[in-house]
Amino acid sequence: MADPEHRGPRPTGFDTLTLHAGQRPDAATGARATPIYQSASFVFPDTDFAVGLFNIERAGHVYSRLSNPTNAVLEERISALEGGVGAIATASGQAAMHLAVATLASAGDHIVASRSLYGGTHNLLEYTLPRFGIETTFVDPRSPDAFAAAIRDNTKLLFGEILGNPGLEVLDIPRVAEVAHAAGLPLMVDATFATPWLCKPLDFGTDIVVHSATKFLSGHGIVIGGLLVDGGTFDWEASGRFPTLTEPYDGFHDLVFAEEFGPQAFITRARKEGMRDFGACMAPTTAFHILQGLETLPLRMAKHVENTRQVVAFLDAHDAVASVSYPELAKHPDHELAGKLLPNGAGAVFSFELQGGREAGRVFIESLSLFSHLANVGDAKSLVIHPASTTHHRMDAKALAAAGIGEGLVRLSIGLEDPRDLIDDLGRALRRASRA
Amino acid sequence: MSGTRIEVAGATVYVGTGSGKPASDAACVAFVHGAGMDHTVWALPTRHFARKGLRVLAPDLPGHGRSNGTARSSIPAMADWLAGVFDATGVDQAAVVGHSMGSLVAWQFAQSHPDRCRTLALLGTSMPMPVTDMLLNAAKDNHHAAIDMANAWSHSPGGSLGANDNPGVWMLGAGERLLERSGPGVFHADLAACNAFNADEADGVVNCPALVIAGDEDRMTPARAGLDVASHLAGAKVVRLAGCGHAMLNERPNEILDALIDIVTER
């Protein structure tokens, strides 16, 4: 009789993977740290090997736009942390997003996306991709039914952020994935705010993950970079909607990616076509910097979350604050879902609405000392921004409201400082704002 | 096209061709995948030999990958099925390359169809090829633990941390996803066939040129077992890969291809 309590070997732990996945001591020098292979191209051992590299019959590097040994370490590491089959490091999170869309969609195709998105992503989907014939329907991220209702015959992708920007709506990944898969579509999730330490979207049914590696993955705020991770879970052939993966590709001697590369079809096409032709590659030095940050991801994220909890508690009790939006608060509409998808914490970015609206927001931000007013999140240092006048300034009042952004909304990214200093800084600024 | 579909024993079979367009009289090489896998494990070598003008056959075994039909329950049955693939594609003879379970199929094919096996390459092989009850039982229940066991044990300790030559590919993730695509019962049927295989029941003699590739850190088919297989193949060449595990096509794709070139192209 078979044992019903089957148990596989214990997998390598997350903390170990953040330090070791994708890299061994350098064979040539013994270097323990990942070397920066700052080289545009790589010498071929012989002509036949060269042909083999171009023909995808050899493994290795040709030209750093396509792949690079330093970048490859980062790509393997994020794949390991997310639980995917492979990844591509890109010039930015925007480049990763574009690479994914361009690999799956062509002119005449359609995307269904959450309407609570990073402003840059919103711009790409709302204004720029339509110029290339790809349209997007934006829907309420809290309504899987709205995702389902927006799907058309030409839809290629469902997309959302695990934590919406800036309202922190928690995407119900299991239910939206169910909607996507029922329609023969993949779900792609931007997991920038969570990092795999807080949530691995692939575990909940996501098929593709994108990151802005500029943020928490790096943690230091010194580079721009993106990562595209293929879960290898989606059956492109069964879907029948993805000719870029299931039909012969003229640009590669009639190669059918899904047939030859199976679970790695998407990431292989993205590299062999998207990186080759669009060329939004990551600099090897950037990959090195991101790797240095990743090595401390578990330590940093735990501290980010702990600091955030203290700051949220302070603001939530403050008279000058009209409301605080953070999924760990019981009053947040997605509190229960956050507990399920983000058991280690709901991240370190959140927003709150000041009493006094736009003018109070201006005075508040300009009164802060430790918090830096800039357009970024996920730095080791605490950051602040006023979305209505910066990241989302192209949206009119109606669109802002639809995205859950008030005119007095302030977004904070809580860093690794002593939380008492952060609270003191916020308290001083709130006093000035309340007098405005 | 990357592959073709043929009819074998009443079922549609997918055969990967490495996107080749060989001449009608081209020499042939056939690749046989391991338990629960499909032809995609051979993506790189199939593309190489196809470019070199060889006719490439990398079938998905029955019930695997894109092939219909029921997984065969014994290694001899799989070898006979492979002969059916040769018949259906008009191939008289080929270099036959097998990995893991596929190595048993290739060896059995060389035994039972000696005129059709030009040369033989056995990767990650062992005779017998025992499978632990723990793995068999989990596979029998179609439990994910079976995939976890096979995937973890197929990689060397170093390989389990990645750093392969294929840029950006996380080997453990790729191996897990491929096994997850295996249909219910298929992985167990394969493992049971490996476990039951008894080379002593074969009454032929393998006389063709042979190669054995063994990974020194192979935990599924230890290198010493591969060397023992080689010792029973007259004149067999041996390539040992230091630090390499059972998933050698992932861990050492270039060294595997280098090792295969002579044996596959030998006339």
pLDDT digits (tens, 9 = 90+) for A48-101: 999 999 999 999 999 999 999 999 999 999 999 999 999 999 999 999 999 999
What's the complex ipTM?
0.97
**Domain span at residue B64?**
3-265
User: For residue B138, what is the enclosing H or E element?
Assistant: helix B133-140
Residue A187 bridge partners (DSSP): A158
Tokens representing A128 are 């720029």
pLDDT at A394 over 80: no
**Average pLDDT, rounded, for chain B:** 96
The count of domains in chain B is 1
- Residue-wise pLDDT for B122-134, tens only, equals 999 999 999 999 9
Assess whether pLDDT exceeds 90 at residue A386: no
Contact call for residues A242 and A269 (beta carbons, < 8 A): no
pLDDT band (50, 70, 90) for residue A224: very high
Of A55, A85, A248, the CB nearest to B169: A85
**What tokens were used for B171?**
């080997």
B172 in helix, strand or coil? Answer: helix
Instruction: Please give the pLDDT value at position B217.
Output: 98
Q: What is the pLDDT of residue A119?
A: 86
Comparing CB atoms, the residue among B43, B48, B168 nearest residue A52 is B48
Smallest CA-to-CA distance from A53 within B265, B181, B257, B225 is with: B257
To test the contact with chain B by mutation, choose from A51, A99, A259 the residue with the greatest count of B C-beta atoms within 10 A, namely A259
Structure tokens at A121: 């992503």
Residue boundaries of the structural domains of chain A:
34-293, 296-435
Residue B38 and residue A21: Cβ atoms within 8 Å? no
Backbone angles phi, psi at B36, to 5 degrees: 75, 0
Is the backbone of residue B90 left (phi > 0), alpha (psi -120 to 50) or beta?
left
Predicted pLDDT at A1: 45
Q: Indicate the pLDDT class of residue B55, thresholds 50, 70 and 90.
A: very high
**DSSP state at residue A385:** E
DSSP-assigned states of every residue in A265-284: HHHHHIIIIIIHHT--BPPH
Show residues of chain A in contact with B162, CB under 8 Å: 21-23, 76-77, 80
Q: Has residue B1 got a pLDDT over 80?
A: no
Fold of A296-435: Aspartate Aminotransferase, domain 1 (3.90.1150)
A166: cis peptide before it, omega within 30°? yes
Angle at A367 between CA A364 and CA A314, to 5 degrees: 60
Q: Kindly report the CATH number assigned to the domain that includes residue B74.
A: 3.40.50.1820
Dmax (CA) of chain B: 48
Task: Judge residue B98's burial from the number of C-beta atoms within 10 Å of its C-beta, 0-12 exposed, 13-18 middle, 19 or more buried.
Answer: buried
Which residues of chain B are within 8 Å of residue A17 when distances are taken between CB atoms?
A: 161
CB A197 within 8 A of CB A357: no
The pTM of the full predicted model, rounded to 2 decimals, is 0.96
Q: Which of B256, B45, B126, B154 is nearest to A56 (CA)?
A: B45
- The arrangement of strands across the sheet holding A349-354 comes to A321-325, A349-354, A409-413, A383-385, A372-373
Report the topology of domain A34-293. Answer: Aspartate Aminotransferase; domain 2 (3.40.640)
Judge whether A155 and A112 are in contact, CB under 8 Å. yes
